[in-house]
Every structure is written in C-alpha cells, then in structure tokens.
Amino acid sequence: MASEHQSFLLSDSAMQAASYSTYENFQPKLGISGTALKTWKHRIIQFQSQLAPAPQQGDLFGGSESTSTDLANRIEPFLLRRQNTEFWRWRFEDVGVAAMYFVIDYAAAPGENLLLYVGETVKSNQRWKGEHDCKRYLLNYRQAHYDNGLKSELGIAFWPEAPTERKARQQLESVLISRWRSPFNKENWQFWNTPFVDGKE
C-alpha cells in the first residue's frame, strides 16, 4: 500500500497530463534556456534561504492578538505538509478551512526549495476549482523545465490556522507575499522579471 506521503505526490508527467486538460489552448514554448532558468531560480533561492522564522514568544500581557507581521514571520512554508497541486480534483467530505497556501518547487536545486506563490482561501479543499492564473504559471514553469531537461517537483502546502475573517486573511497574505517575494504573485514580478506569467494578467 502506498504511504500517505506518496499519495500526495505524483510524477511531473502525470501532473502535467492532468493539468493540460484544464487549458486546451495552452502554448507551452517560452524559449527560456536552461542556463537562464537556473540563474533565475538561484537568485530567488538565495533571497528566500535567508528568511528564518522568528522565534515564537508568549504574550506577556495576555489578550492581544498577533499581528499579521508576527504571524508571517513565524510561518515556515517548507515545513508544512506537502500535497499534489492537483489536490482539488479529489473528493472531500467537507469544504476545508480558512488557510494560507504556498506553491513550492521542492526540487528547484539540489537540497533547495523555491516558494513560487502565496495565496489565501476560506475553503482549503475547494481552492483552485476552475481556472486560476497560478495553474497557468505552473504549466509554463513545468514545461520550461521539461524543454531543458531539468527537474521540478511542484507541490502545495496549506497553513490551516489563518484568520477566518477575510480582511485579516488578505492582510496576512499581503505580508507573506512581501516577505517571501514569491515570483508568481504579481506584486513581485518586478523583482524577478518573472517569465512564466505570459502577460495575461
């Protein structure tokens, strides 16, 4: 019987085949070289690898809630339970919970992870049903690796302790996007000259 971890991970080829069915008019060729792709990833990994989560401290005075910055500084996306990016195709017994989610390449470089996208949702088990811009970015990213004979291992991880109130959740999302400079979030395209978004935003 497959382990629980294995059930959340499919091969890139299986994930790619499933994803293609969502976008019939997808044009995969980006024309990015393997050297350029590795250089682009290396710059982001260098930045993100310097971000260590801040130590958690108890509230000395009691009663006050953590700010969005406090929460963002404590979340470690790479240590969260990872899932297949096609999770939304599965059947769930409930709609899920309010959560922050992180799209990650777990094989961006030997021993290195790359956080590509940060998002928020009030229903974690239903997020990404239908079209979502990040799905297209992932297809482009995966195809660029395939074209250049490079490995990618895309997954998604949820942090299920997000605020249930939408404004607070979106504020936390904004802080996380700024902190990690995730290249698929449009707020950070300018930092990395992200090549996978194909100008359709």
pTM for this model (two decimals): 0.77
Using the structure block, give the residue that is written with the tokens 């195709």. Answer: 89
Give the three-class secondary structure for 82: strand
pLDDT above 90 (res 33): yes
- Residues 12 and 67: their CA atoms lie apart, in Å, by 38
**CA 161 – CA 143 distance, rounded (Å):** 33
- pLDDT at residue 5, as a whole number: 41
Q: Is the pLDDT of residue 14 over 70?
A: no
Q: Give pLDDT, residue 118.
A: 96
pLDDT at site 66: 67
User: In terms of residue numbers, what domain contains 142?
Assistant: 8-51+68-190
Q: Predicted confidence band at 111 (pLDDT cuts at 50, 70, 90)?
A: confident
- Amino acid, single-letter form, for residue 72: A
Count CA within 13 A, CB hemisphere, residue 41.
Answer: 25
pLDDT-above-70 percentage for the chain: 66
For residue 186, tell me if it sits in a domain: yes
Answer yes or no: is 76 within a domain: yes
Model confidence at 197, pLDDT cuts 50, 70, 90, reads confident
pLDDT in tens, 55-67: 555 444 443 356 8
Measured CA to CA, the distance from residue 103 to residue 118 in angstroms comes to 7
Q: What is the pLDDT of residue 24?
A: 39
From CA 117, how far away is CA 186, in angstroms rounded? Answer: 9
pLDDT computed for residue 84 by the predictor: 80
Count of domains observed in the chain:
1
Please tell me the predicted confidence (pLDDT) of residue 110: 83
Burial 53-80 (b: 16+ CB within 10 A, else e): eeeeeeeeeeeeeeebeebbbebebbeb
Span 53-109, pLDDT tens digits:
655 554 444 433 568 898 899 999 999 998 887 665 545 454 467 889 999 999 988
Say if 125 falls within a structural domain: yes
Compute the distance between CA of residue 174 and CA of residue 186 in angstroms, rounded to an integer.
11
